Amino acid sequence: MRPSALPIEEALHHIDEAKQGEVYMAENPVPEDSGKRFYMESYGCQMNFSDSEIVASILKDHGYHATDDHQTADLIFINTCAIRDNAEQRVRNRLQNLQAVKKSKPGALIGVLGCMAERLKSKFLEEEKMVDIVVGPDAYKTIPALINEAETGQKAVNVMLSLEETYADINPVRLGGNGVTAFISIMRGCDNMCSFCVVPYTRGRERSRDPESIVAEARDLVDKGYKEVTLLGQNVDSYLWFGGGPKKAFKNLTVAEQESSVNFAQLLAMVADISPELRVRFSTSHPKDITDEVLHTMKAFDNICNYIHLPVQSGSSRILEKMNRTYDRSWYKMKIDTIRQIIPDCGISTDIITGFCSETPADHKETLTMMEYVKYDMAYMFVYSERPGTPAAKKYTDDIPETVKKERLMEIVRLQNQHAEERNRQDIGKVQKVLIERVSSKSDQDLCGRNDQNKMVVFPREQYQPGSYVNVLVESCTSATLIGKVVI
């Protein structure tokens, strides 16, 4: 996924009621007003945030209003992440805190959505008495029925995974956004089975969404004034539409299916064709699946941003094999070379896991030398967290002591900071096209937005407004931000 400014599981957002109201009222028939209010918090990756927008749409269609005050809400939904143990711990703590609300407002319901709900299923109701509703990522359309069940004191659980559901028919309510950039889910699930990862179990089989519905959603965003869309999937490069249902390889399609199929490069072009004013981004790319066709499509369209999030996970071929990433060190380096050859100024970021089972100092060194080779613009760096039920948990011992994992992580973080600053310094003196997203969080006298390579650029506000493109001369930088001023 395209990373947010915080490590993924730290990102948390609340609903901007006013904005949702506007968006909602413009595009949906006025539902019967139940007078009830829902409050929603999201944890995890952008797909989860995107799912919360689908859930908000379903709730609004059933007469619920959004509120950003959990104290007065009739329904509190926590959209959860299960990717690492600390992500789950954060949710448990939050649920504990919310018990006070339940006490002070009898009848208020608490629902757990998302990946942790899928992982723990009805255990959530048994162990954590504080929860009334449990809904997995493919069952959101049943939420209104589940609310009814919970209201009559029944157990309300639906964690059925689906081979087909893509929510293509639901127009998401944009939550807490800036009105400039939005996410569009293009596929769900993951078939990759990286040995450390819980996602295939929490999100089910990979399936692609109808491209017409994706284009329609993007066009609708453009009509509403949005200027950037990010196409989301766990592995966008394996997107393949052939009429719906679980993923199939292109070679296994019938001739008729092949002829009418749409792959990721073609989808990118379809979305980029909507308007030259619309920026198109995507996330996440898997090194084994990103094709030259995608890279050439990026090159061919000025409005497809030159930025790729290409998680490496480890620089050691031995560890990559144990992780079941299905590429090795030299394959990954070859992909980096190809990207730089086709799109020389492409921004590249990554995810790194340190301290995976049996990782030796030599394996760790190979991660550091891989980082030196690529000099990532940005990276998300994690210590390995064993997830119950995953192949790694079953086959390997989580044998690297926490202290060693942390030391290795610190070394990786230090090196990454150096690289990011080095990369940012290369932009000083250059003029960058920036899409203004919002007022800077550090000063209301400054605006900020991203350049083509996804770097955050901060500059004096003057008369400029979010949603417009400006040319910014970069004058200085930190490891996280470019700083400059608008030039004509």
Residues found near ligand SF4 in the complex (CB under 6 A): 190, 192-194, 197, 199-200, 234-235, 286
- Measured from the CB atom, is 354 or 451 closer to ligand SAH? 354
Name which of 178 and 284 has its Cβ closer to ligand SAH: 284
In whole angstroms, the minimum distance from the beta carbon of 210 to ligand SAH comes to 22
Least Å distance, CB 379 to ligand SAH, is 10
Rank residues 198 and 474 by Cβ distance to ligand SF4 and give the closer one: 198
Q: Which does 387 bind (CB under 5 to 8 A by kind): ligand SAH, ligand SF4, ligand F3S, none?
A: ligand SAH
327 binds, among ligand SAH, ligand F3S, ligand SF4, none (CB under 5 to 8 A by kind): none
Q: Which does 200 bind (CB under 5 to 8 A by kind): ligand SF4, ligand F3S, ligand SAH, none?
A: ligand SF4
Span from 77-85, 164-172, 396-404, 439-447 in contact with ligand F3S (CB under 6 A): 77-85
* Bridge partners (DSSP) listed for residue 470: 434
47 binds ligand F3S (CB under 6 A): yes
Among residues 115, 229, 383, 392, the one that binds ligand F3S under rule CB under 6 A: 115
Q: Select the span of 67-75, 175-183, 271-279, 382-390 touching ligand SAH (CB under 6 A).
A: 382-390
| Number of chain positions touching ligand F3S (CB under 6 A) | 14
Site membership for ligand SAH, residue 230 (CB under 6 A): no
Q: Could you say which residues in the range 294-323 bind ligand SAH, by CB under 6 A?
A: 311, 313
Report the 10 Å Cβ neighbour count for 126.
Answer: 11
Interface of this chain with ligand SAH, residues 337 to 366, rule: CB under 6 A: 351, 353
Residue 115 interacts with, from ligand SAH, ligand F3S, ligand SF4, none (CB under 5-8 Å by kind)? ligand F3S
Give the one entry of ligand F3S, ligand SF4, ligand SAH, none that residue 351 binds, where binding means its C-beta sits below a cut-off of 5 to 8 angstroms depending on kind.
ligand SAH
Kindly tell me which of 81 and 98 has the beta carbon lying closer to ligand SF4.
81
Which positions from 234 through 253 interact with ligand SAH, judged by CB under 6 A? Answer: 234-235
**Minimum distance of ligand F3S from residue 8's CB (angstroms):** 6
Q: Which stretch binds ligand F3S (CB under 6 A): 76-84, 101-109, 292-300, 464-472?
A: 76-84
d(C-alpha 408, C-alpha 118), whole Å: 32
Task: Determine the Cα–Cα distance for residues 217 and 40; give it in Å rounded to an integer.
Answer: 23
Selection from ligand SF4, ligand SAH, ligand F3S, none that 419 binds (CB < 5 to 8 A by kind) is none
Closer to ligand F3S by Cβ: residue 48 or 208? 48
Among positions 37, 387, 419, 450, the unique one binding ligand SAH when judged by CB under 6 A: 387
Among 131, 133, 150, 199, binds ligand F3S (CB under 6 A): 199
- Inter-CA distances, 240 with 12, 50, 217, 324, Å: 31, 20, 18, 22
Distance in angstroms between the alpha carbons of the first and the last residue of the chain = 34
- What is the binding site for ligand SAH (CB under 6 A)? 83-84, 196-197, 199, 234-235, 284, 286, 311, 313, 351, 353, 382, 384-385, 387
- What is the binding site for ligand F3S (CB under 6 A)? 8, 44-45, 47-48, 81-83, 114-115, 198-199, 202-203
